[in-house]
Amino acid sequence: MSRRKRNRQKQNNSKNIDVYSKSDYQTDEKNFKLAESGKNNLDWSTFSRLMIHDICANSNILESGYIGNVRLEDVDLALKNPKIGWRMLLAASDELMRISPHYYRLNSMYSNMALFCWWIDLFGVKNNANVDTIKKTYGILSEKLETMNIKHEFSKIMKVLPYQDIFCGLLIENQTDTFIQQVNFRICKLYEVQDGLYNFVINLSAINPKKINAYPIYIREAYDEFSNGKIGNWYKPPADLQICIKLNSQWTYPYPLLIGLVKDILDLDIYKKLKLQSARTDNYKAILMEVPIDKDTVD
């Protein structure tokens, strides 16, 4: 038998191996939706398969080794040393929010759990306390909390915390409204703990001069003083005009909630194997298709 004929026979004996069939994808998607609605517990293997599909289908990770603008090797190093590589973890989490609908949906599920149903209780009121004084104080506090629009403003904070772990904000207030403006933590650092919360400082030199007018007046004034050489580049906003909330408070560096969960998904070996398989099939985006693979030589 000629060599060409033996090769042709070998190819004919190859079988179609279902890498991730359409029916399996639909089953995983159904289970994920049940978990979102609270009718079922989230299965890790289901989420893992869906995320790998998202990353392979919506990025060039198998061609370039990048998730968006983030190199997978850098993410791997950052996961091994998050105290130093936390900026890379935040960047990776940002990219995953854009390219993986299931990563986005799971973060959104956690961020929507808080209901912010606040109320005011009276504690330590003495029997001989002046009722009119209590009513007046209660009314002032209640009105103040109403103007803070707690549910709206803190919902903004909660949307950031699961995938960034930390929220730094500046307060902008007037007599009728309160607004919390987020500051990118990449230009901040934690400074001290006050009343059980972190305070942060801002690196004025890292602010884009073209965007300085988007900041509150006290930041603009500090920036002018910095530009004129009157103060250093690290500026501490007044404690009553800043807010810093950290989800994983046990660490002083950011560590996004789901980065720990997707650590195995971002394993370099997984994508090396997928890349090897895609090179043999010449179609790395065929994760939802039946790919012809030689079972005797497949990795």
Domain ranges of the chain: 11-114+257-293, 166-246
Alpha carbon distances (Å) from 203 to 140, 184, 220, 231, 234: 36, 11, 13, 12, 5
CA–CA separation, 238 vs 87, rounded Å?
25
CA–CA separation, 266 vs 195, rounded Å?
38
Query: What is the residue-level pLDDT of the chain in tens, covering all 299 positions?
Result: 554 544 444 444 433 334 578 899 999 999 999 999 888 888 888 999 999 999 989 998 888 889 989 999 999 999 999 999 999 999 999 999 999 999 999 999 999 888 888 888 888 788 888 889 888 988 888 888 888 888 888 999 999 999 999 999 999 887 778 889 999 999 999 988 888 789 999 999 999 999 999 999 999 999 999 999 999 999 999 999 999 999 988 888 999 988 877 888 888 888 888 777 766 655 544 444 555 556 565 55
Single-letter amino acid code for the residue at 230: K
What are the residues whose beta carbons fall under 8 Å from the beta carbon of 122, sequence distance 6 or more? 134, 138
| SS3 label, residue 235 | strand
Predicted pLDDT at 20: 76
Single-letter amino acid code for the residue at 194: Q
Residue 80: CB atoms within 10 Å: 10
Predicted pLDDT at 15: 38
Predicted pLDDT at 280: 60
CA–CA separation, 85 vs 254, rounded Å?
10
Predicted pLDDT at 166: 94
Longest dimension (CA), the chain: 108
* Tokens 């400082």, located at residue: 201
pTM above 0.85, yes or no: no
Predicted pLDDT at 197: 84
